[in-house]
Amino acid sequence: MSDDEVDHELLAILRQHLQGVSIKDEEPETGVLADAEYVYDHGIDVAIDMRSTKRAAETIYAQMQEKSYSTSTWSSHELHPKAKDEATAAFIFTMDLLNFSFWSELPDDERFAIEYKGKRWTGYWSLVAAIQRALEEDIPITDPNYWQNEEECNLESLRHVFRSCTEEEMPLLQERLDCLRESGNVLYNKYECSVVNLISAAKGSAAQLVNILARDFDCFRDEHPFEGRKKPIRIMKRAQIFVADIWACFEGKSYGEFRDIDKITMFADYRVPQILSTLGALYIGPQIDAAIRDKKLIESGSRWEIQLRACSIWCVELIRREIQSAHPDTHVNAILIDFFLYDTMKEMEAAGKESIPHHRTRSIWY
Ligand SMILES: Nc1nc2c(c(CN[C@H]3C=C[C@H](O)[C@@H]3O)cn2[C@@H]2O[C@H](COP(=O)(O)O)[C@@H](O)[C@H]2O)c(=O)[nH]1
């Protein structure tokens, strides 16, 4: 080979090597799992029972197999949007912007509920029903332009959108309006009012999309100080469930195509800790346990609450690892385990089989 050919060959090898190194180095991380492990290692009020976690992993795996739990389960829910288009992406963004704090202390027949399609919907499903109902009433509730229009979108109109068939109003209505207003402004200023532009900005990385939501939207930045640690603990529940809902709805294609979707963790809400504790996988110390059983408010951002949320994330990660090592030929991620646990907890609730209450924290984070 001539000198030129040797140089050319070397350059091609070098470029290939650098390209491989640079992409790997730039792969973003959310930091959520590392922070969950940190809290687990440093907290003293919540622990994980390894034997029960192993047992839970086997039960969860068997039931997920039985129900052939997959991304397509998401669209099978009666109220979830079926079309795989931009309007559905906007629907999911609106939904996960407001996907928090539905719990009520009132008895079932008095608690906040939405009447839609001849049924009474409570909890998360009341949110989805209200958005569907608003769209059928030609209220553009999923349109960021509407969210910025103070004439049209205000507490009055939101009260109408989320009108209850009982005396109780939807919790945190003003905070929900604030989330819509802020997000409308951000989407207008940075993403031409388009949710799909926001998704595209992540260039196919789930972790990057979570980081973009944390960077650009105050109302998605679910991170909290913990025991004097310099960096806040990142939990990012609604940012992560937004990415997961898009991935599941679009079945990993189109807007739902993320090369690193397995970096998304369990979503630290108030239902999955409840079932993890019911399964014995999560061990909640006597003081917190008593507060939960007495339905006492546990303050948002408190040491107890951060441990409940972060240790639940870590517990689901251990369940995921357990399943993966026991069944190396199958692929299951934290998202599908989480979805399964949430749906199972809701089935237990519907069957009156809640053995312990969920914890009570009022916040916009979950
Ligand atoms: N970790 C986790 N938390 C979830 C969900 C969902 C619904 N996801 C649907 C999409 C796919 C799944 O198959 C589900 O069908 C809602 N939540 C949270 O729970 C709380 C509502 O509780 P309740 O008031 O009882 O409905 C509230 O914080 C809400 O943000 C989930 O999947 N995982």
If 0-12 CB within 10 Å is exposed, 13-18 middle and 19+ buried, where does residue 100 land?
buried
The encoded tokens of residue 182 equal 């802020």
The residue whose CB lies within 8 Å of the most ligand 1 atoms, and thus the one to mutate among 70, 179, 235, 269, is 269
- Tell me which of 216, 269, 329, 343 is the catalytic residue: 269
Rounded CA separation 76/249 (Å): 10
Ligand 1 neighbourhood includes 312 CB (under 6 angstroms):
no
- pLDDT for the residue numbered 21: 41
Q: Count of residues for the chain?
A: 366
Rounded CA separation 207/264 (Å): 7
- Confidence band of 194 (pLDDT split at 50, 70, 90): very high
- pLDDT for the residue numbered 26: 74
Kindly state the percentage of the chain with pLDDT values over 70.
Answer: 95
Distances, alpha carbon 97 to alpha carbons 91, 116, 148, 241, in Å = 10, 21, 15, 10
Q: What is the ipTM of this complex?
A: 0.99
Could you read off the pLDDT of 145-191 as tens digits, one per residue?
999 999 999 999 999 999 999 999 999 999 999 999 999 999 999 99
Given a cut of 80, whether residue 6 has pLDDT beyond it is no
Ligand 1: residue whose CA is nearest its atom 12? 339
Q: What is the mean pLDDT of the chain?
A: 95
Q: How far is the CA of 180 from the centre of ligand 1 (A)?
A: 20
- Confidence band of 353 (pLDDT split at 50, 70, 90): very high
- pLDDT for the residue numbered 5: 74
Given a cut of 70, whether residue 19 has pLDDT beyond it is no
343 a catalytic residue: no
- Confidence band of 23 (pLDDT split at 50, 70, 90): very low
Q: Other C-beta atoms within 10 Å of 320: how many?
A: 22
Rounded CA separation 355/348 (Å): 9
- Confidence band of 2 (pLDDT split at 50, 70, 90): confident
Which ligand 1 atom is at minimum distance from the Cα of 349?
25
Ligand 1 neighbourhood includes 342 CB (under 6 angstroms):
yes
Rounded CA separation 15/104 (Å): 59
Q: Which residue has the higher pLDDT, 202 or 16?
A: 202
Ligand 1 neighbourhood includes 123 CB (under 6 angstroms):
yes
Which ligand 1 atom is at minimum distance from the Cα of 125?
26
Q: Other C-beta atoms within 10 Å of 84: how many?
A: 16
Ligand 1 neighbourhood includes 242 CB (under 6 angstroms):
no
- pLDDT for the residue numbered 60: 97
- pLDDT for the residue numbered 18: 52
Given a cut of 60, whether residue 364 has pLDDT beyond it is yes
Could you read off the pLDDT of 234-245 as tens digits, one per residue?
999 999 999 999
The encoded tokens of residue 149 equal 């229009």
Q: DSSP assignment of 272-326, as one string?
A: HHHHHHHTTSEEE-HHHHHHHHTT-B--TT-HHHHHHHHHHHHHHHHHHHHHHHH
Could you read off the pLDDT of 289-340 as tens digits, one per residue?
999 999 999 999 999 999 999 999 999 999 999 999 999 999 999 999 999 9
Nearest to 196 by CA among 90, 97, 91, 95: 90
Ligand 1 neighbourhood includes 360 CB (under 6 angstroms):
no
